[in-house]
Amino acid sequence: MNAFFLFLFIIGCILLQIKGMVYRVISIAMISGSFIFFMSLTYVFVAPTISRVRIVRRLFLIITEYVMCRMVSNTEYITGANRHGYLPHLTARKMIDKDYVSEEEFEKVSSFAVVRNPYARMVSIYMYNRFGACESFSHFVRSWYRHTIKDYRERGEMDEWFTPCHAIPQIEFTHDLNGTKKLVRYMVKQEELKYLKKVSNPDADRCNGVGTDVSTKFEVNDNKLNDRNNDGNNDDNSDEGSTKCTTCSSSSGSGSVGSSEEYSTERSTTEDFSSIICLPDAVRRALLGMPHDNKRRTKTPWYEYYDQETLNLTYEMYHRDFEIFGYDVAIKQRPDLEMPPQANRDVSAV
């Protein structure tokens, strides 16, 4: 988009050299308009301001969704948005409500979603939406809690007009009725994706039933699994050694990804890889062929960002993600932090 406005700016400068009032008016309009749009898209309508400054987000929505996309309502906007919002960011319930897919189709197809540890996700949100490197994680989390996700916490608002899609808990993208009804069939934990090639796939037909235990064997060719929950901070893996285990469950809630426990091949069980063992071949191929273009590495592990206040606030905002997807509430790498207090209320699907 910026390239287009830069092109208009150059054309305007060329027309400015041509004599004649008409060309001068057109050139000034092109130069000024392209400059305003270029600056807006570069410094104003960017991820941090769209997510955290309500007036900027609503102005952006008015320009893109409510004006541009409604003018071409039968055509998806170049960014993947139309009058219903950003299509890649629609929750499962919104996809049904907007008639993109039916509940019956959800039950028939091999739908899947990639979820992650809510604590690690909060750090990722911070890195993407902070107002520069000088904004601390604690200040960001407090602002996110008090302002960005306020409408969702108080009234369950999930429309972009009130709550940015990146602030919504993950269960809203996969479940309905506050996590009590699963719409997406397979939940894959991001922390386990890097072991997808190393964990052999049993007969997928025997793993399709939710909560069904299957006696089978699989191999894990890795002798250093202790970095599994460092969320990309340490990828020191080895292909030596193997372990055989004898049970398999496709229930998305079975087993916990323990946010800090160290693993070795001698201790690996099927619960450690509960989200990737029983995937059908179509889903496995899709995941293995899926690029990771937005990957970033940080020198500081995600768990080092937390203090007691930020841990408590993050858990309060996303406690249902911990419960539904089976993530540990405690950060075991941080024994200095206490367990967060129990969350008082749920507002999903209000």
Strand partners, 199: 220
d(CA 285, CA 94): 26
**Which is nearest to 214 in space by CA: 197, 201, 196?**
201
**Which is nearest to 183 in space by CA: 97, 268, 107?**
107
- Whether the CB-CB separation of 69 and 86 falls below 8 Å is answered with no
- Write out the chain's pLDDT in tens, 350 residues: 667 777 788 888 888 788 777 778 888 888 888 888 778 777 788 889 999 999 998 888 887 766 666 665 555 444 455 555 667 788 888 888 888 888 888 888 888 999 999 999 999 999 999 999 899 999 999 999 999 999 999 999 988 889 998 999 999 999 987 778 889 989 999 998 888 887 766 555 555 544 333 333 334 444 444 444 444 454 433 333 333 332 233 333 333 333 333 333 333 444 567 788 888 888 888 888 877 666 667 789 999 999 999 999 999 999 999 999 999 999 999 999 999 998 876 665 44
At which residue do the structure tokens 């400015």 appear?
Answer: 16
Give the up-direction half-sphere exposure of residue 67: CA atoms within 13 A in the CB hemisphere. Answer: 7
